[in-house]
Amino acid sequence: MRMKLGAVLGGLCLAVAGSVSAQSITIPHRQGEVTLDSRPERVVVMDWANVDNLDALGVSILGVPGSNAPEYLSKFRSDDYLKLGSLQEPDVEGIAAADPDLVIVAARSRQSQPQLNRIAPTVDLSIDNDDFIDSVTANITELGEIFGKEDRAAEMNAELRSKVDRLHDAVQGKGRALTLVTSGGKIGVYGPESRTGWLHKEVGFPSVLDDVDDRSDRGDAASYEFILETNPDWIFVVDRDTAIAAEGGQAAAALLDNELVHQTTAWKEGHIVYLDPQKAYIVMNGYQAVSDLLDQVYEAVTADS
Amino acid sequence: MTHPAALPCAILAVVLLAALSLFVGVTDIAPMDVLRGQADARQMQVLLASRVPRTLALVLAGAATAVAGLVMQMIVRNRFVEPSTTGTVESAGLGLLVVTVLAPGMPVMGKMLIASLFALAGTALFMRILRMVPLRDVLLVPLVGIMLGGVIGAVTTFFAYRFDLLASVGAWSMGDFSGVLRGRYELLWLAGALAVAAYAAADRLTLAAMGRDFTTNLGLNYRSTMVLGLIIVSLVSATVLVTVGVIPFLGLIVPNVVSLMIGDNMRRTVPWVAVMGTGFVLICDILGRTIRAPYEIPIATMLGVIGSAAFLFLLLRRRHHAAP
């Protein structure tokens, strides 16, 4: 009896203390908003871009996707992190068992938000391709606020902005660019509306085309003649197979090594850039990925000037 | 009965389609310029490096796929099958996956051979199942084939998932000629040669289609004729799969249409099947290149849409004239 009373009293004290120290946090996201009673500590992230962001912010993560972990985030492959399903299909039971106080979904897992939200507060931090950099920095700012890392978030965003500005200046007068995606021996083209559209919209690289949308993740199918006719000054290549299988990496280069592509300005000038496929295809919009891709393009563009 | 001039006319139509196919694409090439020798170096290069190979690939793959469908129907003695509904194509895909996992650096010829061996084994398994199960309904045969194909396809998907190769499998299963260039399609000549071999063996295959007893009574080796048919079907499936991917429906529709037109004597039907298969593929590819130009719609999509409509038409038409 006494023990029980003690427990009740203790619980009361804790509850009072809790309600005093914690302020509730409201997080707006792409599919509504959720309210948390306190700063989340057990965080499940079903999207590599946001794992990337939280890692850069220095926030600890409880569980991550069990598939497609990019090389630069390979520490999340270890058993220290719960593996909660694939990038496309979160393991709902596993997430329920992990008892998280915040779940983050985005892009490939965003459709699970309503379902996961019944288990734990779940936010959809997908970005808006139309407003790429703003969207990425908004995510970072939001994560910074949620986890009390506002200063680091501001620092990261400032760095991203300066890299975008630097690249924007560097691409002036460098000609027009085309982004290709290669998959299973076929090529597709990505335009300004696609997942690499920021190269055109934000960085200001003129595109050789303006009417392609990203309705298929392999881009719009195109022939080598198409590349020859559009004759881009720069070709950026996303090797989808390598991104997914993380092996080889010669596939795309071998595909493009043919007599029609040899006629393009991009080939003659050596302006074919193989974007880091995991960062460009799998992660797409995490802080480190974007930062590294901006660097990669900057180095390529300034290499011969 | 068809008019004696019908086949030459059909061949002429397909030659015209092939000529049209040469002049459809992103680069503007005018036929008259080429004939007068006024095309510039770049246009000539596009013509020789991209257009001619693509048209040849369409002709070879179209003819061979349709003929392989016909041969499959002969040896199974069922009108509703083709290599992609009997587990043959799925087995070839599994073989291709096995090579990709175990020996990714293997040359294309080796990959094709392994894929062919798998296709052969898968088709033989299908034949074996057919012999074990007494099938009273003709529609059960394609159903068994589709189920077997489904099982093999599931195994392929499972391992592809495990080895993160789903993307590659997806690409194989989607026939597409956009990547055809000089130096990247020549394997298809083998498929073309196999279609010719089917023509040479047409009489024997026709007999074999009449059953084991009938064939044996006529002094023909039933077993070796069946094996020949199986080899043609498997090799064609594997070469087409490795070079352009799966071309669905073609092997089903074309032989059926031809059979409705001129009957089942293979010596007479093979040329028709080859010509109509070629024409069908050419039309689908030309449309696929035109509808969303300068981008392309893969031939598998075009055939899936046009082919399924044509197949439904065939089925419903047959129902009308059904003579039990």
**ipTM at complex level:** 0.84
Mean of all residue pLDDT scores within chain A: 87
Give the amino acid at B148.
L
Closest alpha carbon within chain A to B54: A223
Nearest to A223 among B25, B164, B171 (CB): B25
B279 closest CA partner among B6, B10, B38 = B10
Residues forming a β-bridge with A207: A177
Question: In Å, how far are A27, A52, A61 from A151, measured between CA atoms?
Answer: 18, 17, 19
pLDDT of residue B219: 85
A179 touching B (Cβ < 8 Å)? no
pLDDT of residue B208: 86
Nearest to A222 among B27, B168, B178 (CB): B178
How many angstroms from the chain centroid is the CA of residue A290? 8
Alpha-carbon distance B74 to B67, whole Å? Answer: 10
Alpha-carbon distance A153 to A79, whole Å? Answer: 28
Mean of all residue pLDDT scores within chain B: 89
| Global model pTM greater than 0.80 | yes
Flag the least confident range among A4-18, A30-44, B105-119, B123-137.
Answer: A4-18
Alpha-carbon distance B111 to A128, whole Å? Answer: 42
Are B296 and A248 an interchain contact pair (Cβ–Cβ within 8 Å)? no
8 Å CB contact between B250 and B69:
yes
pLDDT of residue A21: 47
Residue B149 has pLDDT above 70, yes or no: yes
Chosen for mutation from B29, B43, B50 (greatest number of chain A CBs closer than 10 Å) is: B50
Nearest to A225 among B26, B169, B183 (CB): B26
**Structure-block tokens of residue A61:** 């993560």
Closest alpha carbon within chain B to A263: B42
How many angstroms from the chain centroid is the CA of residue A8? 46
A257 touching B (Cβ < 8 Å)? no
Q: How many residues does chain B have?
A: 324
Which SS3 state, helix, strand or coil, does residue A124 take?
A: strand
A106 closest CA partner among A92, A87, A120, A134 = A87
Are A223 and B46 an interchain contact pair (Cβ–Cβ within 8 Å)? no
Closest alpha carbon within chain B to A244: B164
**Structure-block tokens of residue B253:** 């529709």
Contacts of A260 in chain B (CB under 8 A): 45-46, 49-50, 181
The mean per-residue pLDDT over the stretch A114-141 comes to 93
Sequence-ordered list of residues with C-beta below 8 angstroms from that of A86, at least 6 positions apart, any chain: A65, A66, A67, A68
Give the tens place of pLDDT for each residue, B280-312.
999 999 999 999 888 899 999 999 898 888 878
Q: How many contacts does A have with B, using Cβ atoms within 8 A?
A: 89
Nearest to A229 among B26, B183, B297 (CB): B26
A125 closest CA partner among A155, A153, A96, A105 = A105
